[in-house]
Each structure stands twice: as structure tokens, then as C-alpha cells.
Amino acid sequence: MRLPASMDCTKAARFGRPPVGHTPGESSTICTRTANHHCPEALDRIRALYAVEDQVRGKPPDQRRAFRQEHAAPLLKQLHQWLVVTLATVSAKSEAARAINYSLKLWAALTRYIDDGNIEIDNNAAERALRGPVLSRKNFLFAGADSAASAPPPCTRCWRPQSLTA
């Protein structure tokens, strides 16, 4: 699910969209827990990265890589600079500082998709594929009998995830 352009900080966490690793997840969580004035700019910058990704979704890997290098790489460079500058302006023990430090610590992993056209900007497809079995496991845990938690019904044993590119 894409973050709508009109979304404000307080609604961001409800969408659960962790673009570029978990950086935006951290940002949107902070937006709902605190009145952080850096939040709108962080989400706008992340939204811009997803706008670039929307333009190349479904194209061959070499085209995706070239387009990302041209359009997303400068945005990521600006985001990195903004994170460094913003980190200097927030309290070192604040949630915002924690999220920024997390992003900067994992910056190489967060930006790896720029250099490889086969990598998606996030791992949402894999997380969606795992959601069914995880929810089923939790539901069967309390199915009314002690044995229900140890033996799920036969229908989940043969469950196969759909394409991870969906």
C-alpha cells in the first residue's frame, strides 16, 4: 500500500508500509507516538523514493537499475544529508534520534536496491506471503482444545505462498 501524498504524520503508522527497509516504519511510528516536527519532511522524502520506484516497477532489471541510479540515488543522497543534519538538532535520547541512528547504521543495506535492478525497494511481498501462515498459527493456538496448537488442520499443511513478486 502506498502512502498517499496527502497523508499526515498521525495516519502514517496505520498503513504499515515500511519502505526502504524499516526506516519509514520507524519514522511513521515516531509520528504517531510523538509530536515530532521532522516527521512530515521524512515521510515526504520517503514518498518521493516510492514515486521513483512506481515508474520502474515491472521493467527489466537493467532498466530499473539505470533509472534508480539517475533518479533515486540523488534523493537518497539528500535524505542521508538531511538525516545527519537532523540528528544534530534532536535530543540524543529521543525516539527520533534512535530512528535516525538506526537508519544511518544500516544505510548500506537500505540503499542496496539502487545498485541491483532485481532487488525491490522493500520486502512487503515476502511479508504478505508469510502473513497467512502466521495468522493461522496464532488462530489455531486458541481453537478450543490443547491439541489444536500442536496440529494445524490439513489445509494449512499444503499451503503454498503465491508469487513473491505480487
Least confident residue range of 19-28, 79-88, 135-144 = 19-28
CA-closest candidate to residue 65, choices 47, 53, 76: 53
Q: Does pLDDT of 19 surpass 70?
A: no
Helix, strand counts (H, E) of the chain: 8, 0
pLDDT 10s digits, 26-67: 444 545 555 567 778 888 999 999 999 999 999 999 999 999
Instruction: Grade residue 149 by pLDDT with cuts at 50, 70 and 90.
Output: low
CB 19 within 8 A of CB 50: yes
Q: Give me the amino acid identity at 41.
A: E
